[in-house]
Every structure is written in structure tokens, then in C-alpha cells.
Amino acid sequence: MTDREYRRQAFEDALASRVVVLDGAMGTMLQQRRLTAQDFGGAALEGCNENLVLTRPGVILDVHRAYFDAGADMVETDTFGATPLVLAEYGIADKALEINRRAAQLARQAAEEFSKPGRPRFAAGSMGPTTKAISVTGGVTFRELEDSYYIQAKGLIEGGADVLLIETCQDTRNVKAALIAVMRLERELGFKVPVMVSGTIEPMGAMLAGQTADAFWVSVSHANLVSIGLNCATGPEFMTDHIRTLAAMAHTHVSCYPNAGLPDEEGRYLETPESLAAQLERFLARGWLNIVGGCCGTTPAHIRAIAAMAEGKKPRAVPPPSGRSFYSGIELVEAEESNRPLLVGERTNVIGSRAFKNLIAEERWEEATEIARRQVRGGAHIIDVCLQSSERDELRDIPPFYEKLIRKIKAPIMIDTTDPKAVELALTYCQGKSIINSINLEDGEEKFAKVCPIARAYGAALVVGCIDEDKEQAQAFTRERKLAVAERSVEILTARYGIPREDIIIDPLVFPCATGDENYIGGAVETIEAVRLIQQRIPGVKTILGISHVSFGLPPAARE
């Protein structure tokens, strides 16, 4: 077992056996040191706390030691703003790798100093939200964010961080860029990197980019996280409902490290160590938490009180995945008994709507996205978007359309395209858990092989058509054929690509039944019975039907 593997196992053992205590604020401690411009490396770098790991490493090491001495199990590296994107504001983007590596080395050094037999200490690589919330401020692309986070993650892991902590998350698109960056690093390193994620819920009850706590969890739940949680923004009092939600939903550990209350008009945090510990104790008593600590305004005194309170407390029992089918945009939608059927709005489709097609052709993005909003107001739970046309470049149309769309609707988005590049591009604009529409076995597993890795990386659900390579009946018509194709598809998706059943939506296909074509006689009954069989024989998956297809080919009056 390598040293890294040993520390990973020790961290997992700690989480299983006790409440793990995280450190408190780095910035608060540095402010107390009354550092000068010279300490930071000159007037141009004053306020760049991250550069202190190079210019005053002893100061940073002392902060880590103070928190370990207070009882912390884990400290965060001094890298909250150490992405190249943020460091560029100080003109030192080229030092990002060095700063992150050195910061991790310092945290790791302090952890080694305070580790004891049976009580190891850990270093978490802090990855902040940057100064750009891509859905709110713009000013950066998804790929630029990914590249910036990649450099940070690489430096932190090279320096010895035990886990990466993507924290103070305000926009889930930023989080997804960070997660994609970590996956990229994992492929290069050849081993899994433990990741914790912590969001920030504003006093208004949602993240800065609008997501609620439940939608946030669903959006990142695919990533096999060490923990999900909340930090910053408020004191623990205002986190109660959101922590309760995460504790009820998450099939991983839950963390909470709040500010020392809300700052007063002079920016002072007034929550006492005893008061903060008492409020976190309330969460522990209800079985909601595995990891506790402090954020802005907290000091070693706060962590000492929290550590004393948490000693001997039972950590939250981590439940298995629920098997429930969730989708999200800004808000959450669940496919379950009480709200069936979910309605998918299909008017934002260049193939199915001439009006929408014309708006896209004329690049009237605002009016085109208004169609989506009208569908949501009319009762649609999910919005299907198809921009794929032989007359236009889909990859060119996705950015301007989706930029407007994500500001117009809160509903989950169903990405309707056969182009894997378009699928991935569209997913970079979606905060939530989207749905890819669709894949099938018409060309064998070719489409699965191209799209499934994208779905896994971004956490998207999949619509799977009952179509295979059969030369006589590729589009399954009978109930038996529909079931057989569905069973084969689900087996491949789950066993080979790791797609959970709750993320699979089977389309048994609806054929027109009033055209007089003898080939389609009985088609409606076969589809209805196929739905019944699929639900009985493949529990956990969901089904979807394009009901309007049943009247395809009829004149408008008859279709009505």
C-alpha cells in the first residue's frame, strides 16, 4: 500500500468512526497578523493571501498548526483563490501550479507533525469558486474554468493533499467544470482523487446562480463524492432547512462549516465559539452531519469548542443510493407516483415546430427561448431542446440559445440531438441534471460508446429508444421485441457503462395508428403493454412516450 493509499484509507476510517473536524478561517487569522505589502511580495500583490505560501510560508504553517492544536482533524490549504484565473488579477497566473503545490506541502507538513497513532491528521486542497460565476457574471467559458481548475488540482495533488475540497460553490456550472478537471487529472494519474463539495446558500434560500439545496445535490450526486455540504454565507441558524435536505437525500457524508454568524455593519463576526458549537451540536443530535468546522470569522477558539463538542458524538449513518429518479434545472423534479406523468415540452424543436425553426434561422434567440418559458408556464415539467438541422450548424447555435434559455426557465433540460459533440457542449450550459435524448442500438453499441461516457461525466440521464440492429424490425413493434431491446439496453448501460437504472428512461416507441397502414395496426396496444412489461421486468427504470406520434400523418383537424 502506497503512502497515498494509506492516508486515503485512514481518512475513510476516520469518517466511519467519528465526526471529523475541519479547521476555521484562514483569512481571519491572516488579518490578525497585520501583514504588510512586503510580506505579500510587494504592493502589487498585497491582499493575495495565496502568494504567502511562497513569501511567508512560516505564517501559513503557523495557522495550520494553530488549528490542529485546537483539535482539527483536517486543515485546508491556503489556495481558496489560487486558480490561474484568479491569480491573473495579480499578474501571477504563471505561478498557480507552484503556489498550489507549495500550499499542499505546508498543510501536509503540519498534518504529519500532529498525527498520532490512531489519530492521523489530513490536508484538504481548497478550491474556491473563482471570481467568476459563469451563469451569473459570464466573462469566462466552461473550458477556461476547467483548464484553470485542472492546474490547481494538479498542484494540490502533487503537493500531497489528501482530498480536494471544491468549496463555497455559488454556481453549479463552475462545480461541474472543477469536477471535469479532476476527472481529467485522474485519467493522467491513474488513480481516483477524493473530492468533497460544499455549496453556499444565500439568505434568500438559494445559491447565487439560483439552485436550491436539493437541486444542487442532484446535480453533483453522480460524482462519487466523499461529502456534500454547506459553508460560508450565513451562520448555522439559516442553514437548518438546507442541511436537513442534504442529510435526507445524500448517499455520501454531509459537512457543515458555517461562518461565525452574519457580519455586522463593520464586517465583524460576532458568533462566539460556544454559541457556534451549540448550534452545530443541534445538527449532530439530529443525525445530519459527518464533518463540522468553521468558515469566515472563525478562529482556533471556535474550532476548539467545536472539537470538544464533537468528541464522542456519533456521525451520520450514510444511506445507500435511494434509486429515485431526479432531474434538475434550477429546481428539482422527481419522476414518482404522485406527479406522474411528467410532461415534456417539445415546441423548442426545429424539426417539430416551424415557428421555432424560423426563429432559430433568424437568430432571434430571445423570442425562441420565450417559447420554452411559455411551455413551462403551461405545465411542462421538462423542456426538450432540438437544434439539430441539416440547414444550420448546431454547435454554433447552442451557445447563444442556451445562454438565454438558462436564464428563462428553472425546469430541467432534455438535450435532443444525435451528435455527441453537441450533447457535451449543451451540458456545459446546464447547472442541473439534464436528460440526453436519445441513444439506441441501431448501430450496435456505437452510440452507447460515444454518449455514455459524456452522460457519466456530467451526470445526465438517458432516453433509450427500443431500436436495434435487427434488419427486419429495427424499430421494435411488438411488446416482446420492445421488452427484449429494453432489457438488452439496460444490461449494457448498467454493466458496461455504470449508468444507474434510475437514470435510464426507456422509450418503447409510439407508432401512428390512424393512417390506414396495416403495418401499424395494433401498435398502440403493443406500446401500452410494453410499458407494463418494462415496469414489471426492469424495476427502477422509467419510461417515456411521444404521445403525439400516434396521430402522425393525419390532417390538423383530425389530430386535434
* Residue 185 confidence class, pLDDT cut points 50, 70, 90: very high
Q: What is the pLDDT of residue 111?
A: 99
Domain span at residue 430? 328-558
Q: What is the pLDDT of residue 553?
A: 62
Domain termination residue (choose one: 254, 279, 310) = 310
Q: Is residue 388 part of a domain?
A: yes
Same domain, 171 and 216: yes
Same domain, 148 and 279: yes
| CA separation for the pair 373, 431 (Å, rounded) | 17
The pLDDT tens digits for 335-387 are 998 877 999 999 999 999 999 999 999 999 999 999 999 999 999 999 999 99
Q: Is residue 506 part of a domain?
A: yes
Q: Is the pLDDT confidence value at 554 over 80?
A: no
Instruction: Please give the full DSSP string across 283-340, using - where no structure is assigned.
Output: HHHTT--SEE---TT--HHHHHHHHHHHTTPPPPPPPPP---EEEESSSEEEESGGGP
**pTM summary value:** 0.96
Q: What is the pLDDT of residue 298?
A: 97
Same domain, 418 and 515: yes
Q: Is residue 146 part of a domain?
A: yes
Question: CB–CB of 304/273 below 8 Å?
Answer: yes
Q: Is residue 232 part of a domain?
A: yes
Same domain, 383 and 245: no
Same domain, 210 and 354: no
Same domain, 452 and 538: yes
Q: What is the pLDDT of residue 556?
A: 64
Helix pair angle (142-159, 172-189), 10° resolution: 50
Domain containing residue 293: CATH number: 3.20.20.330
The number of folded domains in the chain is 2
Same domain, 83 and 181: yes
Instruction: Provide mean pLDDT across the span 190-213.
Output: 96
Same domain, 250 and 128: yes
Q: Is residue 24 part of a domain?
A: yes
Same domain, 147 and 269: yes
The pLDDT tens digits for 10-40 are 999 999 999 999 999 999 999 999 999 999 9
Domain termination residue (choose one: 310, 337, 362) = 310
Q: CA nearest 179: which of 246, 226, 139, 137?
A: 226
The pLDDT tens digits for 446-497 are 999 999 999 999 999 999 999 999 988 899 999 999 999 999 999 999 999 9
Instruction: Provide mean pLDDT across the span 391-405.
Output: 98
Same domain, 282 and 226: yes
The total of other beta-carbon atoms located within 10 Å of residue 547's CB is 12
Q: Is residue 319 part of a domain?
A: no
Q: Is residue 366 part of a domain?
A: yes
Q: What is the pLDDT of residue 558?
A: 56
The pLDDT tens digits for 525-539 are 999 999 999 999 999
Q: Is the pLDDT confidence value at 61 over 60?
A: yes
Cell of 43: 504592493
From residue 363, alpha-carbon distances to 35, 366, 392, 413 in Å are 54, 9, 11, 20
In the chain, helix, strand, coil percent, each to 5? 50, 15, 40
Domain termination residue (choose one: 310, 344, 360) = 310
Q: Is residue 318 part of a domain?
A: no
* 228 membership: H or E segment, kind and range: strand 227-231
Same domain, 274 and 338: no
Average pLDDT in the chain: 95
Same domain, 366 and 252: no
The pLDDT tens digits for 268-309 are 888 999 999 999 999 999 999 999 999 999 999 999 999 999
Instruction: Provide mean pLDDT across the span 219-223.
Output: 98
Domain containing residue 351: CATH number: 3.20.20.20
